[in-house]
Structure 1
Amino acid sequence: MKRVLIALFVLLSFNGYGQNVLDNIEVVFGPSFEVDKRSVPTEFVGSDETGFYMVYSMGKKGFGDNYLYKFGYDLKPLINKDLSVLTGGQKTEADNVFMLKGQLYQINRLIGPNSAMVYLHKIDHETLEAGAGRQIAGMSDTERSASRSNLSVKFSLDSSKIAVVYTLPNKRKDFESFEANVFDSDFNKLWSQTFELPYENRLLDIQDYTLSNDGKLFITARRFYNTRRMKSEGEANYDYLLLSFLESGKIDSLNIQSEGKYLRSMRVDVSENGDVVSAGFYSENSSNGLGGAFYLRINGENGEVVSSSFKRFDIDFHTENMTENKVKRVKKRADQGKNVELPHYFIDEFIAKPDGGVQMIGEKRLEITTYISSGLITVPTTTYYYDDIVVVDIDSEGQIKWAKRVAKKQQTTDDGAVYSSYSASITDNSLAFVFNDHADNLDYDGVGKVARMSKNKSTVVMAATVNSKGEIEKKGLFRRGEAEIKIRPALSQQLNDKEMLLFGHNTVRNQRFVIIKFEQ
């Protein structure tokens, strides 16, 4: 569902980084406020004429119980409410909170030893109280504890259909099973069906779901051969499947031919023209390398393959953001036929374009934990590496139009990487990324050493825009010391096509929002 903030913010602009408007970007600061408990925002839910709504999760890292917060357009909190409700005399937690056709909802599960019932609750916009729930799905007499079930809620592109999907818990060597319930936008059930896949639980990893406007469900999954190993006898020990599920109970399966490559991070979506598109990264050498992009487009009506391709990234992509000496070494290795692939990149966003093309956004991420023993005490240390953002644009025929890496280098220790990564703003014409960076990277042009994100008050909050041609521009927005808060990009949200809501705090309870306005 597209996030839309329907009211204008009337706030004082902040004269950050020397000027208020940096070419086409404006920085607007809201006031500081204090929350009741240690908690952070983890999801933007929606908005109406009275304010906007966010899910807050307890704890510095947001892994605790969930609360719903309502904010006014002065960016101050108005009211909050625990999202747990009593169902059948038992306290249940919210699995999903969303806004549909201007109404707030939450979905809760009542879990018994061998059963789980799914309830839908309307939420009052003023009090944030959840109304009496009605059961919309459920399972009973499961072979194993129903708490092992995974629940997913998916919306079609036009929000006219909603799928509530949950796995059916069973034994590792049993076939993977799940139940799909598809509703219209008023939550009238259109169809419900239980599906059993001809693959063992232990050998199948479901990667992604999507729902078409006509109510068809699609899944990408990774299937292992005989054992859960990424490699066997020097070859990839898995392939990918694109599965479609129909109201009749029919399952159509398409084996995505790997052509001897290691497919990874496969995603799926339905474009505006109804075609099903799936894409991801692949490697020629290992399960974590970044060597190229795979693309598959299927006619949404007859299921025929329209186009399919494997395309390697060129040497310029592999040598972006390197020193000149390192570029020479990498090109020499490439000329010798040696591996020059980039490791540890993951897809975060998968965008199906109206014509069937796609854009993929990802990031290099690596966590390494070491242990130091002294006598009877062992102390772990975890170092987090969050580096370049990768953007790949593929046309409807599977050709790579361009692939770019936005330079950043974020290395921290034992902090959960809470100030690392990035926030993305996605529009039809451009992409924008906001992240914490070092001031030395303000004029970085893609050649040379990338300075590591600093940890002091001179840290710069950077904006990088990528236009439809793959051209990158970077602008410093403000310094950490000027804002009096530390920005947490992964907890920030896109509000609409022109605005991003950044979240930051001084202490965990003392918080502040920042609006970044992108003029199109």
Structure 2
Amino acid sequence: MKKLFFAAFTLLLSLCSFSQNYQLISGDQIKVSKYSSDLDIVASDKTGNYFAEQRWSWNLRAKLYKFDKNYNDIYEKDYRKELRGSIFRGFYPIDEELVMFSTEYTRKEKTFTLYARKINKTTGEIKQDAKEIGTFPLEDKRDDFEVKFAPVSNGKKLLFAANVSNKDRVSLVTAVLDPQLKREATATIDFRFTPKQFSIQDVFYTANEKIVVLGKESEETQVGKRKKKRWVFKQYILHIYTKAGKKEKEIPITADQRFAISGKLIEHTDGTLALAGFYATDPKKKDLSGFFLSKIDTDKNELLLTSYKEINASMIGQNYTEDADDDNDDDSKKSKKEEKKKDDDDEEEEIPNDYVLKSVLINPADNSMVITAEISQLYVYQTQNRSGNMTTYTTVYSYTTKDILLIGLNAEGKVKWVNSIPKKQQEKYENPNITRSEEDYFSGKTAHPYFSSFAALINKDKLIILMNDHQSNNVNPEYGHKVKRVYNFKKKSNFYGISVDLVTGTMKRKMIYDNSSDGIMMPRSAYINGSTILIPATRVKMFGKNELKMSQLTIK
């Protein structure tokens, strides 16, 4: 593969002392498969940056790229041979090691096995034969499990969790791996629920070696005018176990007529856990009433509710109408009708509010926090095309991401300010290589959408939001203002940096990059390392392979 020629351009905008300065350095394009299902920066060290490309053939294939600090291509390694008969699960760093995980399903024995292979980071070659991490029974008709990997002990170890549920019960397997791929803690947890009654939302392994599971409990009830029976959301439950899987406590997330409608576990710098989420004051949870932050004492197995903040609907609940010339963004009337029908069908959903918690960022200067949330929706519908006596069907995946909600908290969890960034982004894919649902909280990251949503980080005394937006939205809109929907990212979007004052919540926006010039930025795939951010950008081509480049954004 050809060497990348180092190409740099710098955008130093200093309109006022409040604003941040952004320096963007990019490499030349490389060719990637048109059928890529995911593009991801997996690690970065002193010798370079590691980038993974995944795509479907008859199974999920993987390719690893390494770039040096000047974005020259060091190597490109395809693991087709090693992954034959397996499902690729990802590259993950464990301390100084880079490990490739895969799983196999043995139909005859009805077992599911996890394998790990260490990668030589200098050459990209496999350092040793595949090591079996664990084998689990799989009696259902499926041949796969949901899996999740998460860093433990500041990246020195890795948590593996597999949702090994069948049709009769919900079960979870966890293990902690050290850099030698030795299992230090293995547990199998069987819940008393069926999958219709209970779904696993998040799993944490704490500093004091407890397994904390956040689950979503549902109940069967009659809904709608026809009184059809459906399983609807009831409550969140926090389960605490020992590292061996022995149950210690089960805590429903309700207090003083406040009912959680979303939740996310977060880990503080001292290793303690907290639970952030939105709540409703109506037991039916029809409307979002406010935000809460709860500390979790995993020594005493107690949930300490520390902060509630009511959120006024006028602040975050505005319905922004689209301008008439949005129709020029190549979006057909037919697909809009399909989405409207889906919107109408969703009126009976158990949680009509669509805000999804994205991150909880901690300011190392004073341990204050910023909560970020976003309206995220995935609509799946079919279109049909008749030609003579033949009818073909196409499945369309429509991703819509809207307003960003920001909540500033002090070190004690008391709310300091609430702000919002109105936006509307939309991407559509026909029969894409989607490997995970947008609502798949357990396995975490989803491949799509590529260009929507945002990245967030704290830099000195500012929160930085990086996102693509319509070219006409070059200033931050206020509550209730109309915003232009961005649908054609190549022709009508810019890459923006929004700096948010951590004391007041006031914001300033700058354009960093014109997406029509040389590829579209992918902020969801950003790799954040202090004040330096690695961001891939891709150019989707109708014919031939797509083009991708790596960019480094430095905030000053």
TM-score (norm 2): 0.75
2:355 pairs with 345, 369, 375, which one? Answer: 345
Question: What SS does the aligned partner of 1:74 have?
Answer: coil
Q: Map 1:90-169 onto structure 2 (within 5 A).
A: 91-113=85-107, 114-133=110-129, 135=131, 137-144=133-140, 147-169=143-165
1:390 pairs with 391, 405, 413, which one? Answer: 405
Task: Determine the structure 1 residue equivalent to 2:207.
Answer: 213
Q: Map 1:334-413 onto structure 2 (within 5 A).
A: 343-351=353-361, 359-368=370-379, 377=391, 384-395=399-410, 397-412=412-427
Task: Determine the structure 1 residue equivalent to 2:303.
Answer: 305
Structure 1 residue 352: deviation in Å?
6.0
Task: Determine the structure 1 residue equivalent to 2:346.
Answer: none
- For 2:219 and 2:411, the matched residues in 1 are separated by 31
Instruction: Give CA-to-partner distance per residue, 1:182-221, whole Å, 9 cap, x none.
Output: 2345443322222222222321110011222233221100
- For 2:132 and 2:523, the matched residues in 1 are separated by 35
- For 1:186 and 1:363, the matched residues in 2 are separated by 38
**Letter of the aligned partner of 1:386 in structure 2?**
T
Structure 1 residue 386: deviation in Å?
2.1
- Consecutive unaligned residues of structure 2, counting only runs of 5 or more, are 322-350, 431-447
Structure 1 residue 266: deviation in Å?
1.2
2:195 pairs with 198, 201, 204, which one? Answer: 201
Instruction: Give CA-to-partner distance per residue, 1:331-368, whole Å, 9 cap, x none.
Output: xxxxxxxxxx9932212224467788754322122344
- For 2:458 and 2:132, the matched residues in 1 are separated by 33
Q: Map 1:208-287 onto structure 2 (within 5 A).
A: 208-226=202-220, 237-251=233-247, 252-257=249-254, 263-284=260-281
**Letter of the aligned partner of 2:522 in structure 1?**
R
Instruction: Give CA-to-partner distance per residue, 1:450-491, whole Å, 9 cap, x none.
Output: 23336364532211122322222111113233x322223333
2:316 pairs with 308, 315, 318, which one? Answer: 318
Query: Which deviates more, 239-248 or 447-456?
Result: 447-456
Q: Does structure 1 retain, via aligned residues, the 8 Å contact 2:462–2:501? A: yes
**Letter of the aligned partner of 1:393 in structure 2?**
G
Instruction: Give CA-to-partner distance per residue, 1:469-515, whole Å, 9 cap, x none.
Output: 2222111113233x322223333332433334242325352222232
- For 2:211 and 2:361, the matched residues in 1 are separated by 17
**Letter of the aligned partner of 1:431 in structure 2?**
L
Tell whether 2:545 aligns with 1:501: no
Query: Which deviates more, 112-121 or 301-310?
Result: 301-310
Q: CA RMSD in A?
A: 3.8
Task: Determine the structure 2 residue equivalent to 1:514.
Answer: 551
Q: Does structure 1 retain, via aligned residues, the 8 Å contact 2:187–2:243? A: yes
Structure 1 residue 78: deviation in Å?
2.6
Tell whether 2:515 aligns with 1:480: yes
**Letter of the aligned partner of 2:454 in structure 1?**
Y
- For 2:192 and 2:472, the matched residues in 1 are separated by 55
Question: What SS does the aligned partner of 2:315 have?
Answer: helix
- For 1:149 and 1:500, the matched residues in 2 are separated by 31
**Letter of the aligned partner of 2:25 in structure 1?**
F
- For 2:180 and 2:222, the matched residues in 1 are separated by 42
- For 1:189 and 1:304, the matched residues in 2 are separated by 28
Structure 1 residue 123: deviation in Å?
0.4
Q: Does structure 2 retain, via aligned residues, the 8 Å contact 1:491–1:503? A: no
Question: What SS does the aligned partner of 1:91 have?
Answer: coil
2:21 pairs with 19, 22, 25, which one? Answer: 25
**Letter of the aligned partner of 1:163 in structure 2?**
L
Query: How many pairs align?
Result: 485
Q: Does structure 2 retain, via aligned residues, the 8 Å contact 1:373–1:379? A: yes
Q: Does structure 1 retain, via aligned residues, the 8 Å contact 2:279–2:291? A: yes
2:501 pairs with 439, 442, 467, which one? Answer: 467
Q: Does structure 1 retain, via aligned residues, the 8 Å contact 2:14–2:21? A: yes
Query: Which deviates more, 117-126 or 233-242?
Result: 233-242
Cα distance change, pair 85–115 in 1 and its aligned pair in 2 (3 A): farther
Tell whether 2:174 aligns with 1:189: no
- For 2:220 and 2:492, the matched residues in 1 are separated by 53
- For 2:72 and 2:405, the matched residues in 1 are separated by 35
**Letter of the aligned partner of 2:375 in structure 1?**
K
Structure 1 residue 52: deviation in Å?
0.9
- For 1:168 and 1:281, the matched residues in 2 are separated by 29
- For 1:165 and 1:185, the matched residues in 2 are separated by 17
Cα distance change, pair 85–150 in 1 and its aligned pair in 2 (3 A): farther
TM-score (norm 1): 0.80
- For 1:249 and 1:255, the matched residues in 2 are separated by 19
Task: Calculate percent identity across the aligned residue pairs.
Answer: 18
Q: Does structure 2 retain, via aligned residues, the 8 Å contact 1:183–1:189? A: yes
2:452 pairs with 420, 423, 426, which one? Answer: 420
**Letter of the aligned partner of 2:473 in structure 1?**
N
**Letter of the aligned partner of 2:377 in structure 1?**
L
Question: What SS does the aligned partner of 2:475 have?
Answer: coil
- For 1:37 and 1:233, the matched residues in 2 are separated by 45
Structure 1 residue 241: deviation in Å?
1.0
Task: Determine the structure 1 residue equivalent to 2:324.
Answer: none
Q: Does structure 2 retain, via aligned residues, the 8 Å contact 1:269–1:276? A: yes
Cα distance change, pair 137–468 in 1 and its aligned pair in 2 (3 A): same
- For 1:80 and 1:43, the matched residues in 2 are separated by 14
Structure 1 residue 222: deviation in Å?
0.5
Task: Determine the structure 2 residue equivalent to 1:294.
Answer: 292
- For 1:287 and 1:319, the matched residues in 2 are separated by 15
- Consecutive unaligned residues of structure 1, counting only runs of 5 or more, are 1-8, 324-340
Structure 1 residue 91: deviation in Å?
3.3
